[in-house]
């Protein structure tokens, strides 16, 4: 198979999505446990397939959500990555990225989110020279909050909504911070 591998860790590889990922991708989108904190309701198969078409589009640069594959099983286990940090007006914050870690529920509890987060933090700071990585987490998602705190993220603010509330975290690139603090 000819596809671009963006990062590889001991257990995982991150690559472009391919047509063979469709069923596993849709299973995640239809899983109420996965969707609980990232949209609330499961998607229908049709809605999931429609969304999957976007995942197949070519990615300019390296800021994107990538197919996440468990190497020992050659199995699609999620989609993760650092993607552009968008402003409320649709623009993009320069030299910043947002971190997304979406792991299929059968693979929870194996440390994949932490391993993935560490890999994309290194990639973002060392390779892409990003100054800051942000992430937002549903306030009810204790496991994800634990993961980002373990990764070194700091809570910046809490956004309270009528239906859901979110914690907003950030992690600043230590080498950029040191340079600007001088």
CATH number for position 135: 3.40.630.30
Distance of CA 108 to the CA centre of its chain: 15
What is residue 177's predicted lDDT score, i.e. its pLDDT? 54
Q: Helices (H) and strands (E) in the chain — how many of each?
A: 6, 8
Domain range enclosing 83: 5-181
Number of domains present in the structure of the chain: 1
Backbone angles phi, psi at 147, to 5 degrees: -60, -50
Look up residue 127 and give its DSSP letter.
I
Q: Distances in Å between the alpha carbon of 95 and those of 26, 31, 58, 62, 105?
A: 32, 34, 21, 13, 32
What is residue 181's predicted lDDT score, i.e. its pLDDT? 43
pTM: 0.90
Strands (E), the chain: 5-8, 12-15, 64-70, 75-86, 92-103, 132-138, 154-159, 166-172
Query: How far apart are the C-alpha atoms of 182 and 112, rounded to whole Å?
Result: 36
Ramachandran area for residue 141 (φ above 0: left; ψ -120 to 50: alpha; else beta): beta
Give the Cα-Cα-Cα angle 152, 166, 81 (nearest 5 degrees).
55
Backbone angles phi, psi at 5, to 5 degrees: -95, 120
Task: Classify 97 as helix, strand or coil.
Answer: strand
182 residues of the chain, pLDDT tens digit each? 567 788 999 999 999 999 999 999 999 999 999 999 888 799 999 999 999 998 888 777 788 999 999 999 999 999 999 999 999 898 999 999 999 999 999 999 999 999 999 999 999 999 999 999 999 999 999 999 999 999 999 999 999 988 889 999 999 998 875 544 43
What is residue 144's predicted lDDT score, i.e. its pLDDT? 96
């Amino acid at each position: 198979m000819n596809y671009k591998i963006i990062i590889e860790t001991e257990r995982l590889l991150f690559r472009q999505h391919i047509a063979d990922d469709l069923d596993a991708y849709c299973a995640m989108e239809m899983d109420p446990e996965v969707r609980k904190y990232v949209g609330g309701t499961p998607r229908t198969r049709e809605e999931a397939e429609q969304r999957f078409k976007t995942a197949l589009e070519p990615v300019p640069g390296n800021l994107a959500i990538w197919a996440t594959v468990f190497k020992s099983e050659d199995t699609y286990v999620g989609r993760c990555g650092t993607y552009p940090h968008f402003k409320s007006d649709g623009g993009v914050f320069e030299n910043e990225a947002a971190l997304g870690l979406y792991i299929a529920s059968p693979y929870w509890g194996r440390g994949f989110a932490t391993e993935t987060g560490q890999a994309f933090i290194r990639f973002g700071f060392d390779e892409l020279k990003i100054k800051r990585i942000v992430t937002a987490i549903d306030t009810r998602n204790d496991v994800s909050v634990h993961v980002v705190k373990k990764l070194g993220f700091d809570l910046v603010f809490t956004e309270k909504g009528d239906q859901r509330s979110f914690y907003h975290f950030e992690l600043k690139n230590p080498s950029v911070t040191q340079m600007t603090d001088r």
